[in-house]
Structure 1
Amino acid sequence: MKRRAKLFLLITMTLFVSISCNLQTPTIALTQGAPFQDIGDSYAKTEIVALYRDNIMAGVKPGFFAPKQPMTRAEFLTTLVRLLRLTPVQAKVPAYSDVASSSWYYGYIQAATEIGLASGTGAGTFSPNRPLSRQEAAAWIVRAFKQQPGSATALSPYRDQSEIAPWALPYVNTVTKLQFMGGYEGMFQPNQPLSRQEAASLLYRIQAHKPWMNEIGKEISPKIQIGWQYGQTTQQYKHSVLSSNVNVLSPRWFFLEKGGELQDYSDPSLITWAKQHNKAIWAMLGNRFDMEATHELLASSAETADFTRSIVSTVQKYGLQGINVDFENVKPEDRPYFTRFIRLLGEQMHSAGAVLSVNVSPELGSDWTAAFDYAAIGKYADYVVLMGYDEHWAGGSYAGSVSSLPWVRSGLDTLRQDVPDHKLILALPFYNRDWTTKGSSSNAALASTDITLQEQTDLMVRYKFRPVWNETLGQYHAAYNNGAVHRIWLEDSRSLSLKYQMAASRGVAGYAYWHIGGETPDVWTSLSNAERYSTYLFHSFDL
């Protein structure tokens, strides 16, 4: 893309941003109706008014912008979140000890942290009111717009390169190359606070780069979002779905019984409601973990054929859009028979115009997954749902995460070797485990209790423990004592957002959630942000 705008050379008492973008800066006439009375002499008055009208920047108080005042870290991060059209997140688990949930910037800092834009100033702090340095601004711009930082060893064009922090040099070089920031008289002055008028000039000229703004403003095609029903009445389930991102309902309606019978617990009222609210239904078909009943069914080709016909007949009877098969605790020797069942069911479901999805656990080389021929399941089913949880399970000897980021990533990448990305759905946990252990630093488990994310929050409030972020696991960890030592590896809006983004970067077809009603409301805001931000493709442009 060729540069059509001329570089502006603005010499002021403060440092300024030297930028070149696609379009020349339009002139906005300032009238007596201008929002601020202290910007008349500012070189950035046009930009300030435009950003105010676009709800990107605001004043420091009614009628005042304070153009020469330093921009704080909280203020600048807020402008980036707004520019990216993300939504503030009122997270239940605060990321920083010095960012109060009652502060006006809390939701913006949480949103930026969850997408990986900011990580604080160390030791669980953010320093929200500290002035933002120019080199910090450079780093945030590069990260926010997904640009690849330059080399840390490359020379910069500035005479004060020695004053640029080693970690910041790649970012300074990148924003300079993009002509989004520049120096004055050959100096970048990296530790100089960014003034509010400088920030306005910088943000406005980024906003004028139309390809990037078109990317931010584009319509996003919704991915599959499956919400499993569990422990809720139909009415409760409906209420939870309406407060969620779910577009595919999966009530636990059908079960395999002994003798190859199909048990039907369907609720016609939910079918009617789903149609009224434009939701698909992929009802779950389970085996109740009954190994013997499952073996009896699968080992008999006749019983398998009869059972398959019963399922498809039921799907047609109720006008369902699909079936979600959840057969667990299957004998390893039933592997070929399970594949035969999925093949038959897939063929008949497709003839009926319905969708077949199959739940599988991550491949761990154990008997638990030996019955799954992942490649064959991926061939015959429309979607394969990876249950990305139970890394450490109830009754296990060791306490640990239900769903750490490395574990889920490994499981997904292994499954991708057999199943194409467009058929993959990642299931995320809306539950956790409260472990009773032998000590706050011991992984030896004495017992565990399944808890919802709301119950997790209640424990945090009751025992006043402060979770600590574990960068490696991609989640918080905490311990508390109520007469016994408890440990929790928290699932929350931040940990779930990271797993969501990881899967999105691999092009999966969608997500599923076990189970609806277990989440806290902030989770849906975070996942919506993760979905939106993951679709942005900010290509570099030629200058």
Structure 2
Amino acid sequence: MIIRVCTALLAALLAVVAAPPPTTAADPADPAPPRTVSAADPAPPRTVSAADAAPPRTVSAADPAPPRTVSAWLPYWDQEGAYQDALRHAAQLHTVSPFWYQAISAERIDGHPGAGAQRVVDGLHAAGIAVVPTVMETMKPGVLAAILADPARRAAHITALLTVVGSRSYDGLDIDYESIAPTGDAGYLAVRADYATFLTELCGRLHALAKSCVSTVSPQTAATGRIWDYAAIGRAADRVRIMAYDRHPRGGDPGPLAGVDWYEEILRRATALIPPARIEMALPAYGWDWPAGGGGSARHVTMREAEALRVAEGVPYTLDPVSMTPHFGYTDGEGVAREVWYQDARGIEADLPVLARYGVRNTSLWALDFEDAAVWPVLARA
């Protein structure tokens, strides 16, 4: 998770010369994935034997090539590692979304360090992978809603986004706007309608340029994600990526990030409003390391880091029987009891039958270079 100090800084400086100026982002040493919220208590764990915890079968040379059913985000803070990871798994990836841009205002969109790196764009294209960069935003409460509600400012913002997509040989844009998610009851319906109008107009302009339009949204459950007009977004966008993670967010109590039972609720609602062929279920390749019992912000760990920590601490592999996600406890060097919940290939494999029941075969991964290699043959069976 630590930015490579020498080579990455040099690459970033060269790339930023050609890209829009970078903005200040969240701490790259401990980035948080896109936000989703929920509240669910984990079920009592069961301990899995070493035989049970064996990774899924790997693909042999005799197996047919896996289908291109996976997209993935490329984090700018680990750009080279994530880029090389994408190339290793190019046979399965149809799209990579570099996490490169941030909307600052109606007319200003800045690039993160390394944004627009031509070597990355060209290398992904040479591997047959579409490049659809992500534009995110962290505006102050109410700012984005005001932009979307004003036709003139909304049009100016769409023009700024089209400038980004035209700045390189990009294949489209992924819009990941989340500051409107906590909108209160009084403004909920208006903001939902304005966002749907914005996305419909943007997608229409992108389609006129033969570019794809991807919308990243929070999962809709009984308790979360109400801001998104799934039906309207599903009509406008080519793909709708549902961020199916952070069921227990970093600032809450410890618990599973995802889970079979939760995915059932998410997909039951989503497929009633969005054609399943347009849905990408975005899966986590990371976890959170909380103070035991909650009461503090969690540390981000990649899937590989979490499993390495479990092995180093000599803790048995344990799978929650309801969510089917791994977790373990340990005591850190300062004597603090901690609790880690994460996702791995075994947990993802347990989720796939739920996706299949709802006709969803496309997945996304947050994020490249977080995952264990055993995830890829699992995703090939999605």
> For residues 157-172 of structure 1, what are the structure 2 equivalents within 5 Å?
none
The alpha-carbon deviation at position 218 of structure 1 amounts to: 7.6
Q: Which residue of 2 aligns with 1:343?
A: 200
> Which digits, 9 at most, give the CA deviation of each residue in 1:338-363, with x for residues without a partner?
11101101111111111111111111
Q: Which residue of 2 aligns with 1:437?
A: 292
Q: 2:336 aligns with which of 474, 484, 495?
A: 484
Quick one: distance in 1 between partners of 2:361 and 2:159? 28
Q: Which residue of 2 aligns with 1:453?
A: 303
Contact 1:346 1:380 in 2 (8 A): yes
Say which SS state the counterpart of residue 249 (structure 2) adopts.
coil
Structure 2 unaligned segments of length 5 or more: list them.
1-46
Amino acid at match of 1:382: D
Amino acid at match of 2:360: V
Contact 1:312 1:352 in 2 (8 A): no
Contact 1:480 1:487 in 2 (8 A): yes
Q: Which residue of 1 aligns with 2:81?
A: 236
Q: 1:526 aligns with which of 373, 378, 382?
A: 378
> For residues 95-106 of structure 1, what are the structure 2 equivalents within 5 Å?
96-97=49-50
Contact 1:284 1:324 in 2 (8 A): yes
Compute the TM-score of the two structures, normalised by the length of structure 1.
0.55
Rg larger for: 1
Quick one: distance in 1 between partners of 2:250 and 2:172? 31
> For residues 270-309 of structure 1, what are the structure 2 equivalents within 5 Å?
270-288=120-138, 290-309=140-159
The alpha-carbon deviation at position 497 of structure 1 amounts to: 1.7
> Which digits, 9 at most, give the CA deviation of each residue in 1:9-33, with x for residues without a partner?
xxxxxxxxxxxxxxxxxxxxxxxxx
Q: Which residue of 2 aligns with 1:508?
A: 360
Contact 2:104 2:139 in 1 (8 A): no
Answer yes or no: is 1:375 the counterpart of 2:231: yes
Answer yes or no: is 1:407 the counterpart of 2:249: no
Amino acid at match of 1:377: I
Amino acid at match of 1:230: P
Contact 1:260 1:293 in 2 (8 A): no
Contact 2:107 2:160 in 1 (8 A): no
In the superposition, relative to structure 1, how do residues 234 and 473 fare at CA in structure 2: closer, same or farther (>3 Å)?
Answer: closer
Contact 1:257 1:293 in 2 (8 A): no
> Which digits, 9 at most, give the CA deviation of each residue in 1:166-217, with x for residues without a partner?
xxxxxxxxxxxxxxxxxxxxxxxxxxxxxxxxxxxxxxxxxxxxxxxxxx98
Quick one: distance in 1 between partners of 2:361 and 2:286? 23
Amino acid at match of 1:96: S
The alpha-carbon deviation at position 412 of structure 1 amounts to: 1.8
The alignment of Structure 1 onto Structure 2 pairs a total of residues equal to 319
The alpha-carbon deviation at position 445 of structure 1 amounts to: 4.3
Q: Which residue of 2 aligns with 1:251?
A: 98
In the superposition, relative to structure 1, how do residues 388 and 240 fare at CA in structure 2: closer, same or farther (>3 Å)?
Answer: same
Please tell me the root mean square deviation across aligned C-alpha atoms, in Å: 2.6
Quick one: distance in 1 between partners of 2:83 and 2:64? 30
Amino acid at match of 2:74: Q
Q: Which residue of 2 aligns with 1:260?
A: 107
Between Structure 1 and Structure 2, the one with more strand by share is 2
Answer yes or no: is 1:493 the counterpart of 2:345: yes
The alpha-carbon deviation at position 490 of structure 1 amounts to: 3.5
Say which SS state the counterpart of residue 362 (structure 1) adopts.
coil
The alpha-carbon deviation at position 319 of structure 1 amounts to: 2.6
Quick one: distance in 2 between partners of 1:309 and 1:509? 33
In the superposition, relative to structure 1, how do residues 509 and 303 fare at CA in structure 2: closer, same or farther (>3 Å)?
Answer: farther
The alpha-carbon deviation at position 449 of structure 1 amounts to: 1.4
In the superposition, relative to structure 1, how do residues 447 and 375 fare at CA in structure 2: closer, same or farther (>3 Å)?
Answer: same
Contact 2:317 2:326 in 1 (8 A): yes
Quick one: distance in 1 between partners of 2:366 and 2:66? 24
Quick one: distance in 2 between partners of 1:237 and 1:269? 13
Say which SS state the counterpart of residue 399 (structure 1) adopts.
coil
